[in-house]
Structure 1
Amino acid sequence: MTTHASVRPSYAAVLRLPHARRTFASALAARLSYATVSLAVLLSVTRATGSYAASGAVLSLFGAATVLLLPVRAALIDRYGARRALLPMALLHGVLLAVLAALTWRPGAPPAAIAGAAVLPGLCAPPLGPTMRAAWAELAPEPGMLARAYSLDAVAEELLHVSGPALVGALTGFAPPAAGILLSALLMVAGTCVFGTSPALPGPCPAAPGDRLGAVPGLLAPVAVAAGVGLAVSGVELLVLAFATERAHDTAPVPWVLGALSAGSAVGGLLNGALRWRAPARVRLRGLAAALGLVVAAAGLAPGLWTLTAAMACAGAFIAPALTTAYLLAEETAEEGPRTRAGAWVNAAVNAGMSGGTMVTGLLVGRLPLGLCFALAGGMALLPALGVYRRRGVRAAGVG
């Protein structure tokens, strides 16, 4: 893939767009809720039940419920407009999170009741990421500026996932873990209240004749590749722990190795947005996902943790660019149509892949050689990237 000598407009230029700073800042404040809530739920349920198995199950149910109806919730935003649909979802989500916090504030609550209370807020979680990306398409219709905006969005999301758990950790130093759930509810409601008033939010998108709620034609390629990236990345997180335990006999460096993965993704996202690519998004998506898969597979050959850390940094450099390109391809497919829904399908695919990758890798570790497990994790990103492009007429394919 080659690039023009000229570069894209700067990130500062993106933030100077009318309404961009206010819209982006409020969206990030609300999206920080998703970065804090997982650890808060895990810690509070563990404290309330005394069972790691129960907390893991509850967190899995919460995650599955969040992903399950994501395209449908995004379809409601496309149909009725973000201003009308987003705030009721956020308010309901916040109230139900508060109920979960009250239930887990002290030990002794029945695990079944906690599980039910965790599913409900997941089912109405607002699709903030897809809505923000649809807003970027309104704010920055020029392709170069939009690509830079999506890269900025991806890097900011990486930073949220690093800062969110740290914020919960600081809070639990002087408050019960359930206070982290309340903080998540507050961030969601307050951030969405401001975000929902932005003039940049997309209005209603009239449904096409025969349009099914949630369906968007033409998204097979970005959805399949995004799912593969999610599978590979979540598998790698568990494999790094297994590598440190089996070969280094020391798990203390694991956070640093995974930090290299996140840092590589942030740097890769910034560089991806800084370059003006000649290759179309479909070709870039295939190349980025394939490169990610190959580097992950090769990481299993690392002789030690330092080499593994370098391999993780290299693998991370392809994560944010691949996901950014998947969202751009979804935006190109939707054009002036259901943009929020199109982005939500990609988002749901990533999250579903993240959940499934951990489960699949957990079944393989200990049963297969570690190097083979890394190769299989890399194949999860590589095979969808190659497979979807072998289909003729891929533009006519659809999901939903």
Structure 2
Amino acid sequence: MSAPTSSRPALPAQPSYAAVLRVPHARRTFGAALVARLSYGTVSLAVLLSVTRATGSYAVSGAVMSLFGGAAVFLMPLRASLVDRHGPRRALLPMAILYGSFLCALAALTWRPGAPAPLIAAAAALTGACAPPLGPTMRTLWAELVTDRGLLPRAYSLDGVAEELLFVSGPALVGVLVGCAPPASGILLSALLNTAGTCAFVTSPAMTGPRPTTPRGKGSGGVRGLLPPVAVATGVGLALSGIELLVLAFAAERSYDTALVPWVLGALSAGSAAGGLVNGAVRWRTPARVRLCRFAAGFGLTIAAAGLAPNLWTLTAAVACAGAFIAPALTTAYLLADETATEGARTRAGAWVNTGVNAGSSGGALVTGALIGRMPLGLCFLLAGGVAVMAAVVAGPWRRRAA
């Protein structure tokens, strides 16, 4: 007698990270993008060390880093619009060649002490202005490579976690390199990684041509739709940059060894990576905008509560819990930006979210540094968390109903 057969329909397979990497051309494209993006994890520390050694001035180093970061961040939407208009192959490669060339010039200027500061500053500003928008381009490609919409959140989570690890491993790589070579060698390494990785990236079979553009005067709804993800990204960036200074001040105020601070910040990164992996593994039923606000509010409330920590070990646990909201919030922001953007503006939409994170990080460090010492540390934690909560309020779905 034959075995009875079940009449129940088979459940759909749970999307997995392995399934993301099995998508045709995904491994090659993603791997090349990660090599190129590792340059952004190595370049900041390399430039800082090189300029400090060449000029002997921390003030000059800070100014150079501000010019480099400002040009890279605030011109990113413009560079991303070139990718949307002309396609990644035609737009990214010239940017990478210019970026690598200016990095080489900067390395030559800072190889030995004595270079004129204005010339270094000009080279740094030109370098930042040409940085290829590899993160936004890769996220746009994920939306094209992954035809299963249920798998796309996993792809974005994988991308976000990998980017988090790049910014952790990049400075460590520079630290190893400068142990046996001048700091400017780290700048040359950054140039090599970006140029070689971008060349491999744009030659991938997954690379597409120019995307259809939206006629002038249309698609304004996509612009309005970017407010929630950009607001949350900016709020998270503001709070995130403040945490680093607050942890350092917490350790100094309670006479802990400041050498323990990197371990606390490492817990923040570990929490973010874990949260990103879990976020991608869950099959969410709530809308992306609702999740975005919840993640931002959770991040802010946890940071505010961290100011009540009685010792550094409790603070480390609180910071790790706060980190668990970072990658989910940013991943959801990128997803929402992609959903609301018009067909010809997806890369630019992702670039605006990226700009919000980085602009918030720059402003948050400035404001937090000014507040520390002028008010109790617990209140500084509360204000840092309140910024993220306020961003969640601004991005709330009730604003759409009110409109």
Same fold (TM over 0.5): yes
Change (3 A) 1:8 1:383: farther
Change (3 A) 1:292 1:110: same
Q: State TM-score, norm by structure 2.
A: 0.94
Q: Distance in 1 between matches of 2:189 and 2:25?
A: 26
Matched with 1:10 is: 16
Alpha-carbon offset, residue 339 of structure 1: 1.1
Q: Which whole-Å deviations, capped at 9, do the CAs of 1:370-399 have from their partners, x for residues lacking one?
A: 000000110111101112327643898xxx
Query: Quick one: which of 218, 235, 252 aligns to 1:228?
Result: 235
Matched with 1:121 is: 127
Matched with 2:271 is: 264
Matched, 1:207 2:213: yes
Alpha-carbon offset, residue 49 of structure 1: 0.5
Q: Point out where structure 1 has 5 or more consecutive residues left out of the alignment.
A: none
Q: Distance in 2 between matches of 1:59 and 1:9?
A: 41
Matched, 1:84 2:78: no
Matched with 1:95 is: 101
Q: Which whole-Å deviations, capped at 9, do the CAs of 1:172-217 have from their partners, x for residues lacking one?
A: 01110001001000000000000001222343123222269x9944
For residues 11-30 of structure 1, the aligned pairs below 5 Å read: 11-30=17-36
Give the paired residue count. Answer: 392
Q: Percent identity?
A: 72
Q: Distance in 1 between matches of 2:360 and 2:14?
A: 31
Q: State TM-score, norm by structure 1.
A: 0.95
Q: Retained in 1: the 8 A contact 2:239–2:385? A: yes
Q: Retained in 1: the 8 A contact 2:68–2:125? A: yes
Q: Which whole-Å deviations, capped at 9, do the CAs of 1:98-127 have from their partners, x for residues lacking one?
A: 100100000001112111110001011110
Q: Distance in 2 between matches of 1:200 and 1:39?
A: 32
Query: Quick one: which of 259, 280, 293 aligns to 2:287?
Result: 280
SS of equivalent residue, structure 2 residue 151: helix
Task: After superposing the two structures, state which structure 1 stretch, 25-34 or 111-120, moved more.
Answer: 111-120
Matched with 1:378 is: 385
Alpha-carbon offset, residue 248 of structure 1: 3.4
Query: Quick one: which of 113, 117, 138 aligns to 1:111?
Result: 117
Matched, 1:365 2:395: no
Larger radius of gyration: 2
Q: Distance in 1 between matches of 2:170 and 2:13?
A: 32
Q: Distance in 2 between matches of 1:234 and 1:144?
A: 32
Q: Distance in 2 between matches of 1:47 and 1:201?
A: 41
Structure 2 residue identity aligned to 1:125: A
Q: Distance in 2 between matches of 1:49 and 1:227?
A: 33
Q: Point out where structure 2 has 5 or more consecutive residues left out of the alignment.
A: 1-10
Q: Distance in 1 between matches of 2:217 and 2:189?
A: 38
Matched, 1:68 2:74: yes
Alpha-carbon offset, residue 7 of structure 1: 7.7
Matched, 1:144 2:150: yes
Q: Which whole-Å deviations, capped at 9, do the CAs of 1:238-287 have from their partners, x for residues lacking one?
A: 10000000023421210100000000000000000000011010000000
Q: Which whole-Å deviations, capped at 9, do the CAs of 1:266-324 have from their partners, x for residues lacking one?
A: 00000000000110100000000000000000000000000000001000000000000
